[in-house]
Amino acid sequence: MESTPPRRKSGINLPSSMKETSLRLDAFSTPRSSPSLPKTNFPSPMSMSPRTLSNLSSSPSSKSASCSDRFIPCRSSSRLHAFGLVETASPGKEGGGNEAYIRLLRSELFGPDFGCFSSPAGSSMSPSPNILKFKTDHSGANSPYSPSILGTGSGVSDEVSTPPKPPRKVPKTPHKVLDAPSLQDDFYLNLVDWSSQNVLAVGLGTCVYLWTASNSKVTKLCDLGPSDSVCSVQWTREGSYISIGTSLGQVQVWDGTKCKKVRTFSGHQTRTGVLAWSSRILSSGSRDRNILQHDLRNPNDFVSKLGGHKSEVCGLKWSHDDRELASGGNDNQLLVWNLHSQQPTLRLTEHTAAVKAITWSPHQAGLLASGGGTADRCIRFWNTGNGNQLNSIDTGSQVCNLAWSKNVNEIVSTHGYSQNQVMVWKYPSMSKVATLTGHSMRVLYLAMSPDGQTIVTGAGDETLRFWNVFPSVKTPAPVKETGMWSLGRTYIR
């Protein structure tokens, strides 16, 4: 018997009842139907030409050809919604971890470069607008373990939990206006001060008036007479005594509760334009360029004389711990003194105009702020421990006064030429909190209420204006009282 040559296996396991001839394929004709297999249009790989294979492989998405069991689809044209990996927003999780989980799963399955393909127009593959909503750091965008993708980074939690803080609202109009006739328009004088017992002292011409804030009562403290005038007023820290500097160079101390003179100090040759109290020492600055230290317990007119300025002393302020005294003069100098020397420990000469505005920080020891006049216009900050200038900002106007809030770390400044405004600054950024206008002349005088919420400003327009600029330590209390009163006159306007 002649042996039949062995047939080549087709690679398909057939049932015993099925012949291989039933699966014979023709590359260009429709195969015979089989009762056990459905119709197919697949050409036989063994009988088709290489050109046919080339055409088939180059157009896997053609409608006239389907893929065999060996076909690997191109992922860029796959219908990914069949895998449930499209970035559809979850109705129960808005901006939550559902999208982040899908993105991480896609990256693990298809690689970090997945997602660069373009989706058909109008399909469900269009990216959700919430995907990058909380992303802040773009440096690690290609990493599937980026904290911004996983939703555990600090940038995500900060944006979700802490929305931007709105700026604090400061009323732009004064809540009270006092009529102050004869309030002088003189840059070198200091005619307004507010005591810790809530009494405002104002020097008007030859007289000093006291205005009690609790009941709006006006009291005439003294009249210096036709040959003298008031150049400065300053309350003690306890608020019971008030000192008065005169144009004749005297320094008088009065009991504000009894309206009685306690002491008169001499020693200056000309007007005394600025005063400053420490716990036990009264310092006075004069046009004679000297600073005198007075002590009520000492019978002498002064206990020491500080000579360092070359022109009139117009700014004077003790630090809160009574260790340092800062003085400013018309010689453009800012000097810092201590209790143990009659020579300044610091001589700061960066200002290019008179230095009247001086304030110490109540929040940080050794932090001093000073303001220059018309030719300078700058607020400068100093570390008196080493004499370094920490910062400087050009305000655009003559700086007449500075006051540091004790409730918040902010500064208020008053200005003259040419804006005549009041400005509130946030320290240390020196961003503007508010700009207040209303005075028609230079805002030469400034004082703060004992609770630290209200300031009073005075100008040569003969008005005193009260502004609510700072919050209270706990909860701000709205001021309901409005109107205008008169200082030195009997009528209400």
Would residue 192 count as lying in a domain?
yes
Q: What is the mean pLDDT of the chain?
A: 78
Most confident of 99-108, 144-153, 407-416: 407-416
| pLDDT score at 166 | 72
Would residue 414 count as lying in a domain?
no
Would residue 316 count as lying in a domain?
no
Would residue 452 count as lying in a domain?
no
Mean pLDDT of 349-357: 97
Mean pLDDT of 447-453: 96
- Write the DSSP assignment of 433-489 as a string of letters: EEEE---SS-EEEEEE-TTSSEEEEEETTTEEEEEE-S--SS-PPPP----EEESSS
Would residue 407 count as lying in a domain?
no
| pLDDT score at 111 | 67
The more confident residue out of 170 and 107 is 170
Would residue 296 count as lying in a domain?
yes
* Residue of 259, 240, 258, 252 whose CA lies nearest to 282: 252
| Residue 256 neighbours by CB under 8 Å, 6+ apart | 195, 197, 199, 201, 210, 221, 235, 239, 240, 241, 242
| pLDDT score at 400 | 97
| pLDDT score at 99 | 73
| Structural contact between residues 339 and 345, judged by C-beta atoms closer than 8 angstroms | no
Would residue 440 count as lying in a domain?
no
For the chain, how many structural domains are there in total? 1
Instruction: Copy the structure tokens of residue 197.
Output: 């017992």
Amino acid at 64: S
The CA-based angle 178-180-185, given to 5 degrees, is 125
Mean pLDDT of 178-203: 96
Which pLDDT band, with edges at 50, 70 and 90, does 207 fall under? Answer: very high
Instruction: List the CATH number of the domain containing 285.
Output: 2.130.10.10
Would residue 152 count as lying in a domain?
no
Whether the predicted pLDDT of 200 surpasses 60: yes
| pLDDT score at 29 | 41
Mean pLDDT of 246-271: 97
Question: Is 105 strand, coil or helix?
Answer: helix
For the stretch 97-146, pLDDT in tens is 567 777 777 777 776 655 544 444 444 444 444 433 333 333 333 443 33
Which pLDDT band, with edges at 50, 70 and 90, does 252 fall under? Answer: very high
Q: Computed over its alpha carbons, how large is the radius of gyration of the chain?
A: 43
Mean pLDDT of 28-55: 44
Structural domain boundaries enclosing 202? 185-307
